Amino acid sequence: MNKALSTTAAAVALTAAATACGSGGGQGGQGGGDDTIVLGFSQVGAESGWRTANTESIKAAADEAGIELKFSDAQQQQENQIQAIRSFIQQDVDVIAFSPVVESGWDTVLAEARTAGIPVVLTDRAVETGQEDVYETFLGSDFVEEGRNAGRYVVEEFADSDEDVNIVELQGTTGSAPAIDRKEGFAEIIGEDDKFEIIASQDGDFTRAGGQEVMQAFLGSHDDIDVLYAHNDDMALGAIESIEAAGLKPGEDIKIVSVDGIKAAFQAMAEGKINQVVECNPLIGPQLMDLVEKVHAGEEVPERVEVEEGVFGQDQAEEELPNRQY
């Protein structure tokens, strides 16, 4: 029985001692009114149910906090995010926050924000940078642990089998922190037993269409698939369409473990089509606004703020469905 935390109960665990990092508070920003904080936010896109819920949480929390939000949707293109951040710098906002679509390629624009004295808060996904003090804090999930939790399900499910277990993997957007880290965590756990083999692994870009197309290709070249590991629910739901079109039963002929925990995935789990969901909580708007206010005020913030999340099995789906907020 998986112990699960419901989203509403998920607490924010401050995982690092509160240490100031970066310029703290920044000098930039004229503010929306005399004391209204102006926040420039660059969002990855609208590719998944998770992302939609994340955007809604951020907009609602900004409204609740009286923060003037300048919001930009990058349609999953890094150049659009870089343009948006440069625009926020030109507008001299008080704080910039963003969820980087991929890990690399941010050094120049982050240095421009630092030069402008505008503090930056990372949310959801991380960046790879050799620079110091280019962002104040990172608020988001531990994607490696999410991957480990998915791997633990597979190891447990096939504990009594001495046959080979063939796994196909639907990866998230190439180069993105969740795709890199979820792959790493999963491989770490299944790598402990060589009966588990990933026979195919491909980018489905976190979308339902991507999951459907790639799973169709997997099924066309493999007739011995035991498990699908999908880096997010939208790709898993797309893959289910392809599995059923191939005359197979998702959740039975092919076991499915997925990440995010959107309502539709819980519904599929209740129908027996998905076997395990690893939660990735998008409802981080309130914590983000709290950090934005602290950063703007020049207060100390932790370098890393993690969100606690749960793992849910089929036996919990019915009961948990009404609690799902996204």
Residues that bind ligand GZL (CB under 6 A): 47-48, 50-51, 124-125, 141, 178, 206, 232, 234, 259-260, 280
Nearest to 22 by CA among 96, 90, 86: 96
Q: What is the spatial distance between Cα 96 and Cα 85, in angstroms, rounded to a whole number?
A: 7
The closest alpha carbon to 100, from 136, 69, 128, belongs to 128
Nearer to ligand GZL, 25 or 100 (CB): 100
- The distance of closest approach from Cβ of residue 307 to ligand GZL in the complex, given in angstroms and rounded to an integer, is 9
Minimum CB separation from ligand GZL for residue 81, in Å? 13
CA dihedral 202, 206, 211, 217 (to 10 degrees): -20
Rg (CA), the chain: 20
* Nearer of residues 176 and 242 to ligand GZL, judged by Cβ: 176
Q: Are strands 12-14 and 304-307 parallel, antiparallel or unpaired?
A: antiparallel
State the nearest-atom distance from the C-beta of 53 to ligand GZL, in Å.
9
Q: Which is nearer to ligand GZL, 91 or 325 (CB)?
A: 325
Least CB distance to ligand GZL at residue 176 (A)? 7
**Burial status of residue 10 (CB atoms within 10 A of its CB: 0-12, 13-18, 19 or more):** middle
Instruction: Report the residue number, 121 or 280, with the smaller CB distance to ligand GZL.
Output: 280
What minimum distance in Å lies between the beta carbon of 26 and ligand GZL?
25
CB of 83 to ligand GZL, least distance (A): 20
How far is it, in rounded angstroms, from Cα 62 to Cα 48? 21
CB of 192 to ligand GZL, least distance (A): 25
Q: Tell me the one-letter amino acid at 255.
A: K
- Please name the residue that has the structure tokens 């300048």: 70
**Measured from the CB atom, is 124 or 136 closer to ligand GZL?**
124
Residue 104 · residue 128 · CB < 8 Å:
yes
Tell me the closest approach of the beta carbon of residue 102 to ligand GZL, in angstroms. 11
DSSP labels, 23-44? SSS-S----SSSS--EEEEEE-
Nearer to ligand GZL, 25 or 282 (CB): 282
b/e map 33-56, b = 16+ CB within 10 Å = eeeebbbbbbbbbebbbbbebbbe
Q: Choose among 99, 96, 92: nearest CA to 50.
A: 99
